[in-house]
Amino acid sequence: MRIGEIYRPGEFGLSFEIFPPKTSDGDAALWDNVERLALLRPAFISCTYGAGGSTRTRTVELCQEIQKRFSLPATAHFTCLGGTRAELREWLALARDRGIANIMALRGDPPAGQSEFRQVVGGLKNANELVTLIKAEFPEFGIGVAGYPEKHPEAADLEVDLVNLKRKVSAGGDAVYTQLFFDNASFLRFRDRCDKIGIKVPIIPGIMPILNFAQIKRITSMCGAALPPGLANRLEAAQEDKDAQFKIGVDFAIGQCQDLLERGIPGIHFYVLNRSQACETILTTLGHR
Ligand code: FAD
């Protein structure tokens, strides 16, 4: 199913995001986990595109495998760092020919060791340009774009960032998937402001169930999401106990999702970190069938 067809009135769009594993053990574990995630009947499973374009064909291959093994639509993430315009077209044609349903169209983060985004010579500078290219030349894809309730780290302020988000939506983005966040108030403010400036596509909260403290500290320091002090303190106090950290993370996500559901969100995009267990517990507790 294309992204534009998922969030109909009365429908709830669940999606899961995975990343290409770096080892064969990671690969084997991934398929066990994806099999369990598939049982939760997501609208799609998405697969990230490695920072700096490091997973060029792997993302498409994993998406194709998800579609084949589980008869589920897949969403391939793709970034402006995928190459020159000609190389971006080549990759999009490959994804189209392999039957991938949707593209998450992104600018991309710089590769490890590089602090700033550098546009590929002959390539694209911002995600809105990638959306424009896809819409004009590959209209068969559904298109997701990224939004930042706590603003993108490079943006001067949320106002400017929202104007840029609107460019992506006006160019053809079918839904906005947010960066992970832990403070629902920031998401609700963001959603209201999107509405006020005329962003009318579904805004899907991105939820990352915390699996352990060290990992979430690393992730939030990279993406700029704020970890509420109370939650950080509880995780820190449980530093020696992995199970306790997992339970704190799952309980927090249950409360967060419950509150968002009461506020009428059209779907949830879970950053699952290639593990199904937290989402299985969260969704079962929430009564998802
Ligand atoms: P853009 O929309 O281009 O925005 C980047 C910055 O430029 C913002 O500050 C924005 O305000 C500004 N801006 C945007 N358009 C313009 C314009 N026309 N003129 C001037 N300024 C502008 N990264 C990966 O490498 N691989 C992935 O698979 C991946 N998946 C992601 C999935 C989701 C749901 C999210 C939320 C993020 C993901 N990222 C991924 C991270 C993303 O690549 C980074 O956050 C990146 O820094 C910005 O990408 P973007 O698409 O939001 O960029």
Domain residue limits, the chain: 3-285
Average pLDDT, the chain: 96
The pLDDT of residue 151: 97
With a 6 A CB cut-off, is 59 part of the ligand 1 pocket? no
Active-site residue flag, 150 = no
Of the pLDDT bands very low, low, confident and very high (cuts 50, 70, 90), residue 276 is very high
Integer CA distances (angstroms), 26 to 48, 219, 269, 274, in order: 15, 19, 22, 9
- 225 vs 153: CA distance, rounded Å: 9
- 142 vs 134: CA distance, rounded Å: 9
pTM above 0.95, yes or no: yes
* CATH number listed for the domain at residues 3-285: 3.20.20.220
Percent of the chain with pLDDT over 90: 91
| Residue 83: strand, helix, or coil | coil
State the closest ligand 1 atom to the C-alpha of 81, by its place in the atom list counted from 1: 25
Of the pLDDT bands very low, low, confident and very high (cuts 50, 70, 90), residue 52 is low
**Higher confidence at residue 36 or residue 116?**
36
With a 6 A CB cut-off, is 174 part of the ligand 1 pocket? no
Counting other chains too, the contacts that 260-266 makes at CB distance below 8 Å and 24 or more residues apart are: 260/184, 260/187, 260/205, 260/207, 261/286, 263/184, 263/188, 265/203, 265/204, 265/205, 266/7, 266/11, 266/12, 266/13, 266/202, 266/203, 266/204
Q: What is the mean pLDDT of residues 274-282?
A: 98
pLDDT (tens digit per residue) in 94-116:
999 999 999 999 999 887 788 88
Please name the residue that has the structure tokens 């899961």.
16
Secondary structure element (H or E) that encloses residue 277, with its range: helix 277-285
With a 6 A CB cut-off, is 67 part of the ligand 1 pocket? no
Give the tokens for residue 50: 């490695």
Q: Phi/psi at 77 (nearest 5 deg)?
A: -75, 145
Q: Whose CA is nearest to atom 32 of ligand 1?
A: 146
pLDDT (tens digit per residue) in 59-89:
999 999 999 999 999 999 999 998 999 999 9
With a 6 A CB cut-off, is 206 part of the ligand 1 pocket? yes
State the closest ligand 1 atom to the C-alpha of 147, by its place in the atom list counted from 1: 36
Site to substitute for ligand 1 among 106, 201, 223, most atoms within 8 A of C-beta? 106
Q: Whose CA is nearest to atom 9 of ligand 1?
A: 155
